[in-house]
Structure 1
């Protein structure tokens, strides 16, 4: 190839490269200008529509609508219909007119403010706040005594070991070996009024008999006919009555008037 032809070929390549760069620059500038145009001309929705992350969560429980700030809700609310893990759940009715199946919340104690969910996931069963789950009572004439027997692993009608009684919170108490881990001993507590079991909870024991590391209580909130489950660390056990009444009041205050 002659020197003249080589120089012509090189100049052609340089010219093509510069033209390519120019086209790219033009496209980028045009794209940026279009984005600016969209931002400038799009309607301001800051006053008319809340971001999804700040919209409240609501649904119906026992014919009443409950509304809560989304900041309290961990994971997501479960509505009547297919499970969230089922692809058909997209057809479930959602929102304030939909029936709730489960509403999981996390909150600080004793303030009952929204907890940092990052701390909840980090600490797991040793989370320092309260983990609350609200669900409708699905079985007519639901009986917490039956639930207590199931936790302890007793057969239907079998009498429970003679319990101790703890003054202060007014709870009955027995220890029982964990059914899954025989070397672990759990604590089981319940409250009775007039022969009726009103509260039941289980405190999970640590291996080696080094006390409990998490407790989970259950009680029925009769005003809404819902089952409330509360998870907490065992040092709060002495405050159970206050926890139960405070959580009940918090839930009832969230019912839409």
Structure 2
């Protein structure tokens, strides 16, 4: 019996590798074909009847979960990959048994959307990459008090003075402090570290990754905290959009508030944002 089990496990690993290779060379078309095969076995009329009888689960159109105690729901077409709920991580056994839905706590919610506009990417969103007109937004719970990200800035600067490759400066065009630092993985590459300060606290950190082959930088990652919602936001966009960092931060935060099922009562008279997408 054990040889059979070993063969099944071996075959499963190769199928996963094959799927990854197909996605790498053919993009999300592979996932679309699988989805159409799975969901397309029934006509719309047959699906409605089977769902009514409880013999078929409805196809979800949204993803829902709790962030900082607040229920967040977003159109499925925004999803860049699967949502992770509290419990087992994606690589652990029984990950599929985690509690899901609007009453479950979200650990990671990866989204992708157009820029500008923050519109859903549709069926092509899954596993898509950032471009000049597309950015990635990942929402995670934030467990620290306040929104000071000094620790993150200091982490990127590194424990050794040699990690910093330039003098601290202030970029008046961007309105950000900046310094050149060594890449954490490829020491020959030089990254650009930026941050914003308000009353001695760092409220925005951005790192643009250096690249010898694709110009000075090939990707920028930015981080900030929505303190009222205890939510940590990770952004990814191309260097061509760095000049729009304030608009990206402001609009992505508005997007989060716009997709809360109910804005917290304490903000009813003094909301943190004066406008939301579509408003």
* Pair 1:199-2:204 in alignment: yes
In structure 2, how many angstroms separate the alpha carbons of the residues matched to 1:162 and 1:185?
Answer: 13
Structure (1 or 2) with the larger CA radius of gyration = 1
In structure 1, how many angstroms separate the alpha carbons of the residues matched to 2:81 and 2:107?
Answer: 14
Give the corresponding residue for 1:183.
188
Q: Taking structure 1 as reference, are residues 121 and 98 closer, same or farther at Cα in structure 2, changes over 3 Å only?
A: closer
Secondary structure at the aligned position of 1:245 is classed as helix
State the number of aligned residues. 214
* Pair 1:56-2:62 in alignment: yes
Q: CA deviation at 1:207?
A: 1.4
Native 8 Å contact 1:119 1:127 kept in 2: no
Native 8 Å contact 1:183 1:207 kept in 2: no
Q: CA deviation at 1:155?
A: 5.9
Residues 218-254 of structure 1: CA distance to partner in whole angstroms, max 9, x if unpaired?
0001121111000000111111001000000000110
- 5 Å-filtered alignment, 1:82-231, equals 82-115=88-121, 118=124, 121=127, 124=129, 126=131, 128-140=133-145, 143-154=148-159, 162-207=167-212, 210-231=215-236
In structure 1, how many angstroms separate the alpha carbons of the residues matched to 2:73 and 2:214?
Answer: 42
Give the corresponding residue for 1:65.
71
In structure 1, how many angstroms separate the alpha carbons of the residues matched to 2:250 and 2:97?
Answer: 37
In structure 1, how many angstroms separate the alpha carbons of the residues matched to 2:149 and 2:195?
Answer: 9
Native 8 Å contact 2:165 2:182 kept in 1: no
Question: Which of 215, 227, 237 is the equivalent residue of 2:242?
Answer: 237
Give the corresponding residue for 1:8.
none
Native 8 Å contact 1:185 1:209 kept in 2: no
- What residue ranges of structure 1 are gaps of 5+ in the alignment? 1-38
Native 8 Å contact 2:130 2:136 kept in 1: no
Q: CA deviation at 1:56?
A: 0.7
Residues 7-32 of structure 1: CA distance to partner in whole angstroms, max 9, x if unpaired?
xxxxxxxxxxxxxxxxxxxxxxxxxx
In structure 2, how many angstroms separate the alpha carbons of the residues matched to 1:166 and 1:218?
Answer: 18
- Taking structure 2 as the reference length, the TM-score comes to 0.68
- What residue ranges of structure 2 are gaps of 5+ in the alignment? 1-44, 263-279
Q: CA deviation at 1:147?
A: 0.7
CA RMSD of aligned residues (A): 3.0
